[in-house]
Amino acid sequence: MYLSNPTLATDETYVPGLSREYIAETFGLPVADVAKLGSAENPFGPSPMAHDAVSAALSQMDIYPNWTAEPLREKIAAKYGYRPDEVICGAGETEIISWIVRAFAGPGDGVLMYEPCFPMYHLSADAENRRCVYVKMGAGFDFRIDEYIAAMDETVRICFLTNPHSPSGILMDNDDIGRVCEAAGDRLVVLDEAYVHFSQTNGGMDLLQSFDNLIVLRTFSKAFGLAGLRIGFGIAKPNIIRPMLAMKPTWNMGQLQIAGGIAALEDDAHVDRTVAMIVEMRAYVTERLSRLNSFRMVPGSRSNFFLVECLDPAWDSTRVFEALQEKGVIVKDCSVSFRGLGKKYLRVDVSLQKHMDRFAAALSSLEDGGA
């Protein structure tokens, strides 16, 4: 009724993961026992260096930060081999995704993405009255690159890719990413690499050397363990960065974010330890779930989560999601959190062994207890 901007077409909002405290209170469990496996956070938390840097930056709370987070841009640029004017920082990747949709597509223009995909792509596009164009992934969550390229009609202005993909965790081939960039021409290709550390590859960032229509997004929320601080960044040619600088809320990054991000980039050992644990636990939980009959892990994840498919028609994803909560396990019900997956899938984080054990035992007990 009060909406005076007719291009703001939807009021659909993000569905967040549940909190440990909610589950502990609802089911009478100790908070520490709850396995929170629905938000792909780092169970080790942030680097102690980042923690100390944020504490030290509290003394700067009364001072406006640099409006482009320049010290952090410089650090990111030096770390990855780019210039500061090729870097933009946002309150998480999520903020940058919303600018991309506004800056690079007009009302009614197409925004291309896979189904399923990270919901912020279509939530941002729908909210701004851009037209979502979906390409269904293959049966094994393969990328069907020919179909993706064929969907680039003349209205499409932005093409979203996720590497590794969420929710499947499957890694894209750099040749395929290059084919998309080539075919996209003057459209913007957005390569979201929120989870790239867990693939133990460099992902597709080097393709920035070959393609001027590419922006690579990364986040501090996952391997760096700073989801609560809200830091993400994009790297692209300055002519892609500049329009977003012009439209972003001027002081979007505070002193604490700038200080924490810089320090996190200095602690490679923390990231390495995190990745090593995730890789080890991914193999561990793969083995444990291989013993089940009613459920199956979708193979091929190179991320810090994986999909579980319900094979027994008596169990749909919402029933499993609710039954796991009673056993102190939080996962993502894909029928609520991802478009196009129906009622068959759950997304589950890879985490500490005690959480993997709780999850595997809970799933197994559902199977044993029958529907």
Ligand X SMILES: Cc1ncc(COP(=O)(O)O)c(C=O)c1O
Chain residues that interact with ligand X, rule: CB under 6 A? 40, 92-94, 118, 162, 166, 192, 194, 219, 221, 227, 232
**What is the layout of strands, in order, in the sheet containing 305-310?**
295-297, 305-310, 345-349, 332-333
Closest distance to ligand X from the beta carbon of 221 (Å): 3
Q: 221 vs 335, which CB is nearer to ligand X?
A: 221
Q: 118 vs 321, which CB is nearer to ligand X?
A: 118
Q: 270 vs 327, which CB is nearer to ligand X?
A: 270
In a 3-state reduction of DSSP, which class is residue 150? Answer: helix
Q: 76 vs 360, which CB is nearer to ligand X?
A: 76
Closest distance to ligand X from the beta carbon of 194 (Å): 4
Q: 190 vs 292, which CB is nearer to ligand X?
A: 190
Closest distance to ligand X from the beta carbon of 192 (Å): 5
Closest distance to ligand X from the beta carbon of 53 (Å): 19
Closest distance to ligand X from the beta carbon of 101 (Å): 14
Q: How far apart are CA 281 and CA 138, in angstroms?
A: 27
As given in the structure block, the two tokens for residue 280 are 């080890």
- Whose tokens are 């990328």? That residue is 143
Q: How far apart are CA 317 and CA 227, in angstroms?
A: 26
Q: Which residues pair with 112 in a beta bridge?
A: 133, 159
Closest distance to ligand X from the beta carbon of 48 (Å): 21
Q: 232-235 and 87-90: which strand pairing?
A: antiparallel
Q: Which residues pair with 192 in a beta bridge?
A: 162, 217
DSSP annotation of 130 reads P
Closest distance to ligand X from the beta carbon of 96 (Å): 8
Q: How far is CA 276 from CA 210, 269, 352, in A?
A: 31, 10, 11
Q: 192 vs 333, which CB is nearer to ligand X?
A: 192
Q: 167 vs 328, which CB is nearer to ligand X?
A: 167
Cβ-in-10-Å burial (0-12, 13-18, 19+) of 29 comes to: middle
Closest distance to ligand X from the beta carbon of 28 (Å): 29
Q: How far is CA 191 from CA 44, 77, 207, 213, 244, in A?
A: 26, 17, 10, 11, 16
Residues 267 and 50 sit within 8 Å (Cβ to Cβ): yes
Q: How far is CA 37 from CA 91, 114, 160, in A?
A: 23, 23, 25
**Angle subtended by helix axes 92-104 and 238-247, to nearest 10:** 100
Q: 93 vs 128, which CB is nearer to ligand X?
A: 93
Q: 46 vs 232, which CB is nearer to ligand X?
A: 232
Closest distance to ligand X from the beta carbon of 313 (Å): 29
Q: If residue 356 lies in a helix (H) or strand (E), which one and from where to where? A: helix 353-369
Q: 216 vs 360, which CB is nearer to ligand X?
A: 216
Closest distance to ligand X from the beta carbon of 59 (Å): 26
In a 3-state reduction of DSSP, which class is residue 207? Answer: helix
